[in-house]
A and B are shown apart, each in its own frame.
Chain A
């Protein structure tokens, strides 16, 4: 890994050439990039109703209906109606249009003084006033027409355009929207208000919003980035690196998306912002550490030497955490790649590619660039130079950061309050978290003030909602729906829908037959019922063309289809209404009829449930992966757990806030949790990594914590604020799901920051957490440890566990490490340097032994609490590992094997010591002539 990290410095030319080559290659991929705003991407691949939907759509026609809304207070004049008729025909001429329904072809059946009048509502434009009046009366008379094609006040009319989507044209919706708009444009000035709503418009507006997001959000994010970086790092040059890395990352990301055929969607439109914001946090950490390197390095060297030193300093201090954070952030975005919804899956692919690219580019390019052009002066350190301060509490950061630090220190002194507060916080937000509702609705993606949403609501208020679904009933009996019994069931279902009131309209063949029945009985509303006999059903059916009924009944009358329209754009409410409807329909239909509620609209809403599954799955997966990685890094499950706490808190906060303020879990907000973890874990990793460094330097955990917090506060606060600000930029989006995502992510960043600076330190101070083994092996080499008699015959895992219980103690030449006659229960292993063992006695003192790296001392006191039998003095500077007997005993209960081996080795050491002592004794006796 070090090789990879130093590659950018040691082989600058190659590194830059590789990056340039990949960038050029990816640049060509940009051409292949396409936009996908289709509804299909909002539907789960495994939706169980998909097949039935396709079959029903094939039989009863597409539910892909665009409604052209036209309002004129002078609607019933020849000019307006002529315009309307022209529009009807112009729409009919569009190649993708399956059928057009309007006042000009919808059937009107009406009693006129005992005579039956069966015709279309408008059979051409009426010639005179009397005919005009009749036509208006006819339109407002039929319950099949009012609310569908004419408003109750007679001034709004609708043309329903049923569309068959061309699956081979990826730009179909945009094209269809444009074509419909073009078809109605010549007549638009005849009406006070005219617009189309339907899937093509929704998709086209989504695409427009997406493009405006792309062009608006990226510059805004850059602005925020500039302000925060200049503010916190006080270096103009520092801004250049994030901009370069972000730009290259985006070329890679979008280029690879082009090659892999991953389209841009409304979520990935925020990718530039995300890459700029998230990518820059790494850059900030790197620059800040680089500047520390410049500061602490030799001021006399040449610029190149000083830069090289600072870059290597940066890699040494940040190498592991940088790789870890790049991996976890990428995983955060990738966690949704298993989502069943194409929208989220494609975003997961796109974002993880871009973020991974950003990681690779940052790690390769920034060291290269810094070693070439890095600043040689740090404005961060222009105050009195930071020296080793005994306790950071005495060192003054002023202003906001000083205040935050004071708060952190105060919190660290009151761990109970912190833990208590955390529990209260968790419970409070946790309760609200469970009230969070799901939503997946393309209209709800837009902000409420968006013209599309307004138009959709206008349509729903004057006519009926835009959303359509089918209640499909099928029987195995021939001609089942000629049978009045089954037709009455349809009527009962409609009665329920009308009474329930949540859906706007419902139409079936029963309505058509009831209407004829009513008109055959002089228009008596009491007779708006299904005919009594099969024969009458058959005879009434003669009034209809097949085209009048093809949406409602199969040719063999075995399957009936009820068309329901509504304006519910909240998945939770819709789901509830559908559950109730489904239950009622099944109850009414009885056991002989098969019931299916189908529609694209329903499948999109069904996918809302997948959001929960995706959420649980991706958050769970990510937490597990982080837990495993961090447990391995710190050789401790506690370490793994510790890493999770500050990342779970923001998720609870986010879900709680969503429940509290009624923000739904939608494709945008469902990605917040994983992304928040992916980003927030960065600070945790830096924090823990710094804490392990500090722990090596002092046995006082409180001090180590304070030093850690002091060291990490500035980058943590600055990156969190920069990220939060960057996310808040997303509130400029055209879509509510994006601004909700932005706002919640900003909250998550701030909560994560607080958790990292207040809760994590308290937890850290309670447990011993050191990734010591890695650092030791890095420092002294593995051999010293494996060759030490203390660790003879132990596996590296066992050695690691034992070492985790120890502490690193540095010593200087002349230090007394053990004092004869004192009592101590510590055992030491010398890691570097050497020490001499001497024995004080009445005649002076005798030098017994010289100890080198790997040697063990203090083993007697470790076993039995008794006076030290000799002095040990450091001969050179060095370091040793300290194991405390009580700590080892307490902690080794769970690891009897390791304890056993450790004890055996100590016994062996003691045995050897005894042997050498007896040896020495016998020599001494021989010398004295005692034998």
Chain B
């Protein structure tokens, strides 16, 4: 897992994404979002997510600060409600994020020391798209990630996650999520791989296929910037949002 982190973690990251919600009948809801991430002290990250479309949610922003040994701080800005940022109460790690199939904890970086990683036999696994067609079969290592920190265990929505790491690039191409009772819940697939620099890769498409809710969320990355200039530190303050500077 250290190799995975070493190869692909980056301190600065900005992405323009199309976020497509797909229900069990194939109805879709398209959103456009910007996602900013910046590594702070101690390897902890801060995130800012901004909605650009549809028009009704334009300007909605979510600011997240990871905290050492404590739950994350999170503020939400609903422009239609007012200029203020509304603080989210803690304990929301395992809640789904804004109607998507991603939980908050799926979207933040993983503190590796809080998990126990159990190596499983290697496997050739499949990557599927939103229609269920197999796009690729990948030779990989299989690792089960269990929370070992007690507090984390009480907060996470998962008993464990099964990570499928491609042997060639040490990239997590697939994650199977198992709920707190150990039952299969959902799968995340990553494909449309793009080499950023050196050994660092990114997937331009990420699908979360929620088996339990019969719902899917597909993220398509339209553009990406890994330079520090794209995610200046002041961006991750409430004032940035309340003064409307997050708007385009």
Contacts and interface: CB of A to CB of B under 8 A. Distances in A.
B93 to A, nearest CB: 10
A531 B57 CA distance: 14
B146 to A, nearest CB: 16
A119 interface: yes
Interface in B14-43: 21, 23, 25, 27, 29
Nearest to B22: A546
B165 to A, nearest CB: 29
Interface stretch (A225-233, A534-542, A871-879): A534-542
A315 to B, nearest CB: 71
A533 B29 CA distance: 20
B231 interface: no
Interface stretch (B80-88, B110-118, B120-128): B80-88
Contact of B89 (A115, A544, A547): A115
B21 A116 contact: no
A547 B213 CA distance: 7
A840 interface: no
Interface in A72-127: 89, 110, 112, 114-119, 123-124, 127
Given A124-B180, A535-B79, A539-B81, A112 B99 contact: no
Chain B interface residue number, banded: 20 to 34
A119 B23 contact: no
A316 B23 CA distance: 78
Interface in B175-221: 180-181, 183, 213, 215
A555 interface: yes
Given A536-B78, A555-B25, A542 B57 contact: yes
Interface string A495-539: 000000000000000000000000010000000000101111111
A868 interface: no
Looking at chain A's contact residues, is the secondary structure mostly helix, strand, loop, or mixed? mixed
B213 A116 contact: no
Most buried by B among A482, A533, A545: A545
Given A533-B80, A545-B99, A556-B27, A116 B87 contact: yes
B86 A520 contact: yes
Contacts of B79: 535, 539
Contact of A546 (B21, B76, B80, B89): B21
B11 interface: no
A550 B91 CA distance: 26
Interface residues of A, number: 33
Contacts of A533: 80
Contacts, number: 83
Contacts of A547: 213, 215
B56 A116 contact: no
Nearest to A538: B56
A542 B183 contact: no
A533 B96 CA distance: 25
A114 B229 CA distance: 34
Interface in A708-764: none
B242 to A, nearest CB: 15
A556 B86 CA distance: 28
B86 A542 contact: no
Given A89-B183, A124-B180, A116 B86 contact: yes
B162 to A, nearest CB: 20
Contacts of B230: none
Contacts of A89: 181, 183
Contacts of A110: 89
Contacts of B87: 114-116
B98 interface: yes
Contact of B88 (A117, A482, A531): A117
Interface of A: 89, 110, 112, 114-119, 123-124, 127, 482, 520, 531, 533-547, 550, 555-556
9 contacts: A115-B87, A118-B92, A119-B91, A531-B80, A538-B80, A539-B81, A545-B99, A550-B23, A555-B25
Interchain residue pairs A-B with the least CB separation, the first 4: A538-B56, A117-B89, A535-B80, A536-B80
